[in-house]
Structure 1
């Protein structure tokens, strides 16, 4: 039965001679034939209905330029559409089309075609006739390849083929010379045609989630490419460490000559104390049994073995033997790396050790990713085997299980073979090094010192012919590989390049093993460093840098007296006595699925140390598994509940939401640094004071967005209002969403306009704004693939109270950034707007770089913390 309201709308449109008609989301099962009377229509929206066909009369709309048919029940392409010769935009997304007809070639004026989320398995060759097509969106179909004829669509600027089954691209792709954005993510590509490197105007190429092992060497010739997404590919050329540095590093790597194959990996031994890890390491290297004392911290050694089935190739293994004492576990996490081989050593004689196998397996998985694990039962002559290997293998990446005895050598030969096979199959094996980079690497290995200055490192690189760009990339590459430690982002660490990472880790573990620090409840006196560290190994002039390195790894921070440090890992495990009123608390939880890594709270304490509440003696109110914070006129208690695998947050005061945002920002950052972990945010039910039911915070937000109003409590079975559950939790931008905007109510505090070349410092700025609960608009987060860029920028400007041009030598005085702040500046000068332009001077900005229009404006210097903090307070007030 025809919807009466729709008939009324059609009649009104006819009487008023309308050119646009919106019939979307009307539950239509058929479109009235009277639609054909609207001869002057240029835009018709039929999205969100239940249409399975269109009436022939649709072909009468000869002037129609835009037709929207998304979210319907179309199984066949309505051929009537092909009579609409003026059509420029056609949206058929979210239907059930299996093919496009050859007749689609009649739509010669089409500029935008969207067939998202259908079931297309191929495109007709007649698509060649759509000569004016600019945008082609085929996201989420079943396409395996493109027809070569697509190369004739010379005006194409955007193609989205994400989430298809593409196995290859035609070589003719190079003829799409105007292509700007090309999304091939989530497909099954194993290689790219060389011809893709001829798409000279590409600015965005998304190849994430494919099966690519290498890029064509000439990819670096795509000189306008600013976004190259390669996430989740088994790449060896370029290696993942280079990929993570961005487009410029990738291009620099691809340009270089690469002939040297360097097969190197880490072999990491983990397990509880006294299970024989060190004896096993000695047996592997020397083929002899050597008794050794308990390992404190980490012991590092080198071992070379033949590659499997090859008499010529060899594998260089860096053995990291991790001490098993519990006090070291949280610190170990920083050195458990992915793309390594793990030996998990256990002894069946020790029930406790057997119980901890799952703990170590979860730890390896969390920090080592999908690295292969060889499970080794030591002292086999004295042990009984009672291990459910099938269950373990179903849950973890265990590649072998062996029984050995280091004393008599039983099983060692087979273990060596297993190690060789596991290492040889690591993604970083058989990767060719840039020749000049490899020469630098060899030179560094010959240096006897534990560390050198950055200037010395720079001169070694220069002597091997590296320019500044190559030096910067190699510096980051060696650091990512764990070959060196160099942190350019810290002023105190910029000038030291640590060549032997075990030298630095040894310093950390010596402090963790110091009883006086433990007895002093985690307080390390600066004066006792002379006693803890051997002066020959650790000269006193290097102390400040080593302590700064501990702070970088979130292992310590300097106390207010400037004469001591707090080492959170050595705090008491139980909480001190303090008063806490449970009334009117805001509760929030981080719930960990199967594993809560140790060290999360101690790292959090280092991050939040400036906001920790004080005890009566002036010392921070924290312990190894909890901390009390003073934030935003509120007090927060953050505590780890190991037995429940959760972190509980309780907040009281005037600004609970603001305090929670700061806490969540830091906990989210710590969780994100752990490679593989399942964690959810939860809020408690409010049906009664003591209801144990909890709800996923993210799912509640999603439910509310989809207009779901009620959820049922599974304890009391009462119906609970979702809005009441979220009251007090929702972010500021979520509260404003959907409200009308006035000059006094904006979605964002600041609009950030910047040069793309300043990306690293802008990322730092964004983190600072997040931490300070300042809402912001920045292109990277607010503009997605396929979005209309100009429209998104205009929306951002309209909805931001302050416009912040980031002044630098890279800021484009003419172009986007000038356009972004220019209009607001003009309105500000004329007094027609309360929005204000506030320039932010970055570190690489000289006075000569400041545009004339902004030179006399009150500005903020980012590196001046006093000025920047005043700026933040101004924004918040």
Structure 2
């Protein structure tokens, strides 16, 4: 019996709830309509006739625990995971559907189901693991593991790659596995917060460091290993951290985003002498939240030997950022609370990092040892063919298995692999190498690019990357382009790439906007985007991606700066600007600006879904009546989320609060960027509006009806027009030209 699962929406209006009940006969057989209505009222805590995502979660848990289902009465079953043992004696069974059940695992006894072709385990919230023997079933073609939030084996990343990857992983587990007690430890924070000093204190035997006045600033990212022995559940284990020490200077922020990992613990440092208001905590917490929304964070205040314990709004920050697990206050030079911080780190790691209990194939670690041997011999990068040979030598033969192992080692920080068309043929086996490659482009020690207003002339490459093999220079340049750190400008006499994060900080004084004069056929449309916090690098990556998609004109490059640019596409001009740390705005001028605005919106939303998945934002569109009827330059802005909600509850219109226009939902959908949910309605409204616009511009409708017998006998040519053939009968074939010459528009 199912519970409520919404594909895209995060809330459910009462009308949708009632419809869901009507469409699910299993629920109707268990609850009457009145009983199900009472459940809505019970879980609609704020009594607004809408169940938000938290209220839905509580309702679903109620449905899970209060409707009889497999596994519910045997939650402690460690042998069969709540699955009736008789199922594993059905040796001719071909399809097994255990979706929406309370099972906790699929045991090794599943190996008896040799004829099984389909296994449906979708929507099992308590399912933690599947025996590796399932991967050995010869006829298994389909495994559904959608929406199993507790699943650890196989890992969610592998589930997302499909059935073949899941089977390959389980097959390897069946051949022998080991628990992985390794993860990345990411030290982040503003410059001079004490990241390097704290890492040195943690790794030292005395748990303290010497005075640090002359410590050199970190240039890019430093990667250092650290092994910590701990006792966990009555046994001694070693946690191996790959410590990434991120430079705190703002110039590096655009490169940091490429190395923030979901499988990591984050230590966010701030210098308590600055005060937490100036420590950039919101910036860093938002960056982690949008790239790695489930990664645990520990906030560490430094310089405790120089300042008393601060009055920190810990509860407020933890409510805003649930990823925060602990606040600590230390002095690295005095050693104050360093040992306690280490204990906190290991506790958070063991309890909040799923990979700590993940079972991985032993051959993967053998493969890793082979890679580390190559690294120790001085190799930094391997072609895929050589890496494949290394995998085969260590017992991994299938290409899909090799890719799974490489992805796993990528998450651990052993390798860096970029799975794009141009880059996938090489694997970086020394992550410090690739970090340095990226940092060289924006390094505080490399001034040539910044002094040339963000122009990375290709003639600079031999100097900037002088420490790297020349045969890799073009691959390295393509790497910066693939991740929107730079973008090329074709057609120039001297080739160069633009580095958006090194563009001038200030807006050009002579910025020509509006770019086009106000004419009858020229219109302007605007979208305002509001973020909970605009992640570092998002705007500059959007600039790079728009230019790479043809939004460019060489004459407009003089109006390109770090927080804005004028773009050109299909005879339309667009002004794209970052207003502050929370807002960006896009305005487009031209005959049909909505089309270009849709392209820019799609580019931005695609970038966010690919690289900034955890970011929270909404966008606002202009009130059409404010623009067309009032002619104001500052129209009321409708929130897109409000329009979508109004549409979902069948509201007929919304009202702007500036001039109090009443605007139909259909009209608002028409001017919103394309949305799959409302695409048909929007296209219909667009067609109606286009016809209405044509109708407004027509003074008279004229129909000319005639038959061939009534046509004049003279040949049809320009000499037969009424203007030069006075007295002749009007020729209907020439009426069009006659009216145009008389000054009428056709």
TM-score (structure 2 length as normaliser): 0.73
| 1:180-191 pair list within 5 angstroms | 182=97, 184=99, 189-191=103-105
Distance 1:540 1:72 in 2: 62
Distance 1:480 1:415, change over 3 A: closer
Shift of 1:173: 5.3
| 2:136 is the counterpart of 1:205 | no
CA distance in 2, matches of 1:682, 1:675: 20
CA distance in 2: counterparts of 1:739 and 1:326, whole angstroms: 42
Matched ranges for 1:517-666 at <5 A:
517-535=449-467, 538-560=468-490, 561=492, 563-576=495-508, 577-581=510-514, 584-592=523-531, 594-610=532-548, 611-616=550-555, 619=557, 621-643=559-581, 645-666=582-603
- CA–CA distance in structure 1, aligned partners of residues 463 and 656 of structure 2: 59
The question of 1:489 aligning with 2:420 is answered yes
Looking at structure 2, the residues matched to 423 and 739 of structure 1 have their Cα atoms a distance apart, in angstroms, of 49
**Does structure 1 residue 430 correspond to structure 2 residue 357?**
yes
By how many angstroms is 1:722 displaced? 2.4
CA distance in 1, matches of 2:82, 2:529: 43
The answer as to whether partners of 1:344 and 1:376 remain within 8 angstroms in 2 is yes
**For residue 295 of structure 2, what is the aligned residue in structure 1?**
371
CA contact (8 A) 2:70 2:103 kept: no
Cα separation, 1, equivalents of 2:260 and 2:124: 25
Could you tell which deviates more after superposition, 453-462 or 552-561?
552-561
Change (3 A) 1:735 1:388: closer
Deviations 1:552-574 (A, max 9, x none): 22211222237322111111123
Please state how far the C-alpha of 1:409 moved relative to its aligned partner: 1.5
Contact preservation (8 Å) 2:297, 2:326:
yes
The answer on whether the counterparts of 1:218 and 1:254 sit within 8 Å (CA) in structure 2 is yes
Alpha-carbon distance in structure 2 between the residues aligned to 1:422 and 1:732: 41
| Alpha-carbon distance between aligned partners in 2 of 1:528 and 1:145, rounded to the nearest angstrom | 69
Give the corresponding residue for 1:857: none
Q: What do residues 321-360 of structure 1 show as CA deviations (whole Å, max 9, x unaligned)?
A: 1111111123212212123111111112114764522222
What secondary structure does 1:365 align onto? helix
Residues 412-811 of structure 1: pairs in structure 2 closer than 5 A: 412-425=338-351, 426-447=353-374, 448=376, 449-469=379-399, 470-491=401-422, 493-513=423-443, 514-535=446-467, 538-560=468-490, 561=492, 563-576=495-508, 577-581=510-514, 584-592=523-531, 594-610=532-548, 611-616=550-555, 619=557, 621-643=559-581, 645-672=582-609, 673-688=611-626, 689-690=632-633, 693-701=636-644, 703-704=646-647, 707-729=650-672, 731=674, 737=680
Distance 2:682 2:386 in 1: 59
| Greater CA drift, 415-424 or 225-234 | 225-234
Structure 1 residues 466 and 192, CA, compared in 2 at 3 Å: closer, same or farther?
closer
How far apart are the structure 2 equivalents of 1:338 and 1:236? 15
Note if contact 1:92-1:116 (Cα within 8 Å) is conserved in structure 2.
no
Aligned equivalents of 2:504, 2:603: Cα separation in 1:
23
3-state SS of 2:336 partner = coil
Deviates more, 1:208-217 or 1:362-371: 208-217
1:336 alignment partner in structure 2: 260
Which of 149, 158, 161 is the equivalent residue of 1:242?
Answer: 158
Does structure 1 residue 301 correspond to structure 2 residue 224?
Answer: yes
1:322 has 2:240 as partner: no
The CA RMSD over aligned residues, in Å, is 3.7
State the alpha-carbon separation in 2 of the partners of residues 591 and 654 from structure 1. 27
- Gaps in structure 2 of 5+ consecutive residues: 1-14, 41-59, 72-80, 627-631, 688-746
2:69 counterpart residue number? 146
Whether the 8 Å CA contact 1:307–1:421 is kept in 2: the answer is: no
- Aligned partners of 2:124, 2:588: CA distance in 1, in Å? 41
Match of 1:217 in 2: 132
Q: Deviations over 1:588-624 (max 9, x none)?
A: 23221x21112112111221224233353x7474322
Give the 3-state SS of the residue equivalent to 1:440 in structure 2: helix
**Structure 1 counterpart SS, 2:471:** helix
Aligned length: 603
CA contact (8 A) 1:632 1:658 kept: no
Counterparts of 1:245 and 1:286, CA distance in 2: 41
Answer yes or no: is 1:350 the counterpart of 2:277: no
Q: Using the TM superposition, name which of 523-532 and 720-729 deviates more.
A: 720-729
1:297 and 1:627 mapped to 2: Cα distance?
27
Query: Is the CA contact (8 Å cut-off) linking 1:93 and 1:118 kept in structure 2?
Result: no
Secondary structure at the counterpart of residue 737 of structure 1: helix
| Contact 1:337/1:368, CA 8 A, preserved across alignment | yes
In structure 2, the residue corresponding to 1:630 is in which secondary structure?
strand
- Contact 1:182 1:202 (C-alpha < 8 Å) held by counterparts: no
Deviations, residues 282-333 of structure 1 (Å, cap 9, x unaligned):
1112345254211121111111001245663101101111111111123212
User: Is the alpha carbon distance of 1:573 and 1:141 closer, same or farther for their aligned partners in structure 2, counting shifts above 3 Å?
Assistant: same
- Counterpart of 1:541 in 2: which secondary structure? helix
Partner Cα distance (1:345, 1:73) in 2: 50
Residue in structure 1 matched with residue 286 of structure 2 by the alignment: 362
Which residue number corresponds to residue 193 of structure 2?
A: 275
- Cα contact 1:297–1:328 (8 A) shared by 2: yes
Q: 1:406 aligns with which of 317, 322, 332?
A: 332
Cα deviation, residue 668, structure 1: 1.0
Q: Deviation of residue 518 (structure 1)?
A: 0.7
- Residues 1:204 and 1:312: Cα distance change in structure 2 (over 3 Å): closer
Cα distance in structure 2, aligned partners of 1:621 and 1:571: 11
Whole-Å Cα distance in 2 between the matches of residues 605 and 224 of structure 1? 46
Q: Is 2:309 aligned against 1:382?
A: no
Q: Distance in 2 between matches of 1:543 and 1:740?
A: 48
- Contact 1:344/1:373 (<8 A) preserved: yes
In the alignment, which residue of structure 2 is the partner of 1:261?
179
Q: CA deviation at 1:387?
A: 1.3
Would you say the 8 A contact 1:116–1:139 is kept in 2? no
Residue 335 of structure 2 aligns to a residue in which SS?
coil
Distance 1:698 1:455, change over 3 A: same
Take 2:534 and 2:683, find their aligned partners in 1: how far apart are those partners?
43
